[in-house]
């Protein structure tokens, strides 16, 4: 038995949730916040058998996409001097952890 923890951008959460449900995966969703951009994410908890892990990962990948986002940054150039710049970064996609589960019960 495995527990898949998948962190998904909120923009893709509905798509990923739908794909997983259509393919028979039970999902628990939690609202989470990323540490770098402080933006909204959804973390999915998916309990599944070992032989279904790869299929779940494929569906998560299909439903989540990477995109570019412009972020404003500020840099201290000298004492009492700050410069601002916009930087384009990649966001989205999915971060996935697969953990072994010793025991699982639904009561």
Q: Which bin fits 26, alpha (ψ -120 to 50), beta or left (φ > 0)?
A: beta
Global pTM value: 0.77
**Surface-to-core class of residue 73, CB atoms within 10 Å of its CB (0-12 exposed, 13-18 middle, 19+ buried):** exposed
d(CA 86, CA 41): 23
What's residue 106's pLDDT? 81
d(CA 89, CA 91): 6
What are the domain boundaries of the chain?
2-100
Q: What is the mean pLDDT of residues 25-29?
A: 96
Q: What's the token pair of residue 28?
A: 């628990």
**Surface-to-core class of residue 27, CB atoms within 10 Å of its CB (0-12 exposed, 13-18 middle, 19+ buried):** middle
pLDDT: which is higher, 71 or 10: 10
Q: What is the pLDDT of residues 63-78, one digit of tens each?
A: 998 777 676 676 666 6
**2-100 domain in CATH 3.40.50.11540?**
no
């Amino acid at each position: 038995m495995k527990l898949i923890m998948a962190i998904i951008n909120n923009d893709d959460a509905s798509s990923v949730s739908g794909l997983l449900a259509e393919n028979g995966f039970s999902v628990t969703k939690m609202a989470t916040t990323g540490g770098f951009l402080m933006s909204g994410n959804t973390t999915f908890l998916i309990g599944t058998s070992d032989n279904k892990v790869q299929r779940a990962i494929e569906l998560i990948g299909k439903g989540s996409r990477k995109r570019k986002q412009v972020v404003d940054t500020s840099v201290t150039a000298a004492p009492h001097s700050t410069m601002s710049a916009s930087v384009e970064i990649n966001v989205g996609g999915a971060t996935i952890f697969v953990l072994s589960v010793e025991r699982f019960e639904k009561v």
